Structure 1
Amino acid sequence: MTFGGGGLDRASGIRMDAPRMGALLTGGKAQILPMWRGKPLIADEGRNRLGLVPHGHPVLAEMRGAPVFLGFLPDSGAPVFAADMTGWEPTGVDAAATAAFFDPSEQHHPALPMDHRFAELRGVMARLTPVEAEIAATARGILTWHETHGHCARCGAGTEPEAAGWQRRCTACGAHHFPRTDPVVIMLITRGNEVLLGRSHGWPEGMYSCLAGFVEPGETIEAAVRREVEEETGVRVGAVRYLASQPWPFPASLMFGCAGEAETAEIRVDPNELESAQWVTREDMVAVMAGIHPGIRAPRQGAIAHYLLAMWLAGQTD
C-alpha cells in the first residue's frame, strides 16, 4: 500500500516555534512540494519522482499563503514543506477532465523544466518511493483542509493558519481548528470461495472494488462494517476483524481495512449507494488482478482495496 510508513519525521513538537520554522524555510536546505488543485509536482517523466524545489524558486512566486511544514526527510534530514499553487491559472485547462473521478490531464508551469508537471496523485502513487508517497498524501490532505476551512465553524468569521499550517485560529472568537480526518471502513467480505465487490456511480468502466463507507459518530469499526455492507447490498455480515489501514487523501480519509464473513448471499443493491455489486470467485479474481478479466477491472494498484484482495488470493488474511 502507498501513503503510509514512509518514515517522514513530522516533528510536531516544533510547529509552534515560528522563528525556527522561518529559519528552516529560508536556511538553504528546505525542499518544497508545489501542489496545484490537489496534484503534486512530478519530475522526470520516466521515473515519476516528486518535484521538490528550493525556497525562492520562481515557481513559488504564485504560491497562495505560506508553505506548510510537513517534517524532515528521513535520509537527509532536510525540512520539507508543501506550497499551494491553486492560484496559478494554466492555459488550456480541460474543465471536464479536472472534474472527473480521475483527471488524466497534466499541467506544466513555464518556470519549470519540461519534464516537470502537475499530475493526478492516484495515477502516480504506486511509482513513488514510500517517503515521497507519504509527503504527497500529507501535502494533499493538509492543503485541501486549508482550502475548505477558511471560516470558523463556531461563529463564521475568517480563520488564519498557525502552528506551521497545522492549525487555524478564528480571528473573531479565537477558536482553534485542526485538520480533519474522516474514518472509513473498507471491507473484504467473503463467503467461501467468493468475494463481494461493488461499483460506485461514475467510476471508470468495469472498475469494481471492496465495499467502503464512513464510520458514524458513536459507532465501532465492526458495527460500521456490518451496517455499510447491509445498507449497500443487503448482505448480512457476521465475524469482523481488522487487517490494515491506509491514509487516503481524497479528500481526507483514513481507511480501516477489515475482513468480514458473510452470513447471507442474496444481493439487493441500494441504487443510491452503488451502481452494482456481485460475488466474484477466487478463480475470476485471479484474472481480474492479472488485468485479463473481460468484464471487471481491479482497484488501483497501491490502494488498500488492491492490497486486501491480493492478500485474500494469497491466503494471508488470517
Structure 2
Amino acid sequence: MRHAEEVTFGGSGLDRAAELRGDIPALAAAMQAPGTRAVVLWRGKPVVAEADNALLRLPLDHPVLAQASDQPILLGREEGETVFAHDISAWEPEDLDEAAMGGFRDFTEQRHPACPEARFVELRQLLTALTPRDAELAATAKGLYGWHASHGFCARCGERSEIYMAGWQRICPACGGHHFPRTDPVVIMLITRGNACLLGRSPGWPEGMYSCLAGFVEPGETIEAAVRREVWEEAGVRVGAVDYLSSQPWPFPASLMMGCHGTAETDEIAIDPEEIEDARWVSREELADSFAGTNPGITPARKGAIAHFLLRNWLADRLD
C-alpha cells in the first residue's frame, strides 16, 4: 500500500541511536550536553504545549524533572541532539478526578505548576494533532514506560529485575534472565464483499460506534490465518483472500496493529456475544455518510486509528 506510513505513529525516520544504549560513557556525556532534551510523561500522558499541542522537549535541568521516579529512557536523536524520556507519575496533581480518567475516553488534562505553558493530555486525544515525529516519540515513550510498569519482575524466577540498556532491557540479578520490551501482534481487518464492508462494535464503546474487526495473533499462526480465524470467531463470516496493507504501533498498552484487507466468501453474520456486541455490513454510501456526519446510526472509528485509515482509503479507492 503506497500510503501505508501515513497512518498515525507510522514512523518519522527517528534515529533511535541503538548503539548508545549500552555505551555508559556516551550516555553520560549525552546527559551533560546542553542540547539534550527530555519528553515527559505522567501516567502515560505526554506533556504538550498549550498553544499548538506540540510535544514538549524539556532541558534536563527543568524543575519538572525533579519529580522523575526512575532513570530516563533513551528515545534517540533529533538533528544530532539526544532525546530521552522521563516519567513523573509519582506527582500528584491537585483536584485529580480519577473517575473521569477511567472511561473509554479520557478528556481530563493536568497542568504542572512548574510548566504552566503546557498540559498533560491522553495520547489518544492527540492522534490527529501531533506531527509524525512527535507521535513516534510519544508512542515510543508511552510503550516503554508501560512495559516497565507491568514487567518489573523476572518471568523466569520472580525476582525484581533491573533496568539496563538505557531502558530497552531488563536483567534479573538473581538468575540472569534478559527481558526485552514486548509488542503484541494484532490483526485488524477491512473485510469487504462487493460494495459493503463488515464492521462491528464492542461492549462499552460510545453509542453507535462501529469499527473494523480485530484480534490477537496466536502462537504458530500467520497473519492471514489470524484474519480468517478472528472474523469467523467474531462474526461467523468466512474470508478467502487476505492482503496486508499497513501497520500501526498502538501503545494502548503494547500492540502492533497489522492492517489487512480480506475478501468475504459468505455474508451471513452470526456474532459471538462473548467477543463483540454487534456486527453488520455497511455499504460505501452508508460509510461515506457516517464520515460526513450525516449517518446518525453509525459513528466511525476515531480519526488517527488504523481502522479509520483503512476505511477512509477504501472509500477513496486507495488500497493499492
Secondary structure of 2:71's counterpart equals: strand
Q: CA separation in 2, counterparts of 1:311 and 1:29?
A: 40
Secondary structure of 1:42's counterpart equals: strand
| Count of matched residue pairs | 314
TM-score by structure 1 length?
0.97
Shift in Å, 1:135: 0.3
Q: CA separation in 1, counterparts of 2:156 and 2:168?
A: 18
Residues 53-100 of structure 1 show CA distances to partners (whole Å, capped at 9, x for unaligned) of: 110110011111011000011xx2221111111111112222122221
1:106-185 correspondence to structure 2 within 5 Å: 106-113=109-116, 115-185=117-187
8 Å contact kept, 1:291–1:298: no
Find out whether 1:105 has 2:108 as its counterpart. Answer: yes
Q: CA separation in 2, counterparts of 1:102 and 1:2?
A: 18
Give the match for residue 25 of structure 2.
19
Give the match for residue 4 of structure 2.
none
- Give the letter for the 1:219 counterpart: E
Q: CA separation in 2, counterparts of 1:204 and 1:40?
A: 24
Find out whether 1:238 has 2:240 as its counterpart. Answer: yes
Residues 195-227 of structure 1 show CA distances to partners (whole Å, capped at 9, x for unaligned) of: 001111111222111101000000000000000
After the TM superposition, list the runs of 4 or more consecutive aligned residues in structure 1 that deviate by more than 6 angstroms: none
Q: CA separation in 2, counterparts of 1:30 and 1:295?
A: 50
Residues 128-163 of structure 1 show CA distances to partners (whole Å, capped at 9, x for unaligned) of: 111000000000000100111110000000011010
8 Å contact kept, 1:42–1:51: yes
Of 292, 308, 311, which residue of structure 1 is paired with 2:310? Answer: 308
Give the match for residue 81 of structure 2.
78
Give the match for residue 87 of structure 1.
90
Q: Any gaps of 5 or more consecutive residues in structure 2?
A: 1-6
Secondary structure of 1:187's counterpart equals: strand
Find out whether 1:210 has 2:215 as its counterpart. Answer: no
8 Å contact kept, 1:229–1:235: yes
- Give the letter for the 1:269 counterpart: I
Of 61, 67, 70, which residue of structure 2 is paired with 1:65? Answer: 70
Give the match for residue 270 of structure 2.
268
Q: CA RMSD in A?
A: 1.0
Shift in Å, 1:301: 1.2
Secondary structure of 2:66's counterpart equals: helix
216-225 vs 285-294, which deviates more? Answer: 285-294
Paired-residue identity, % = 61
Give the match for residue 194 of structure 2.
192
Give the match for residue 56 of structure 1.
61
Residues 5-27 of structure 1 show CA distances to partners (whole Å, capped at 9, x for unaligned) of: 21210011221001211211221
8 Å contact kept, 1:199–1:209: yes
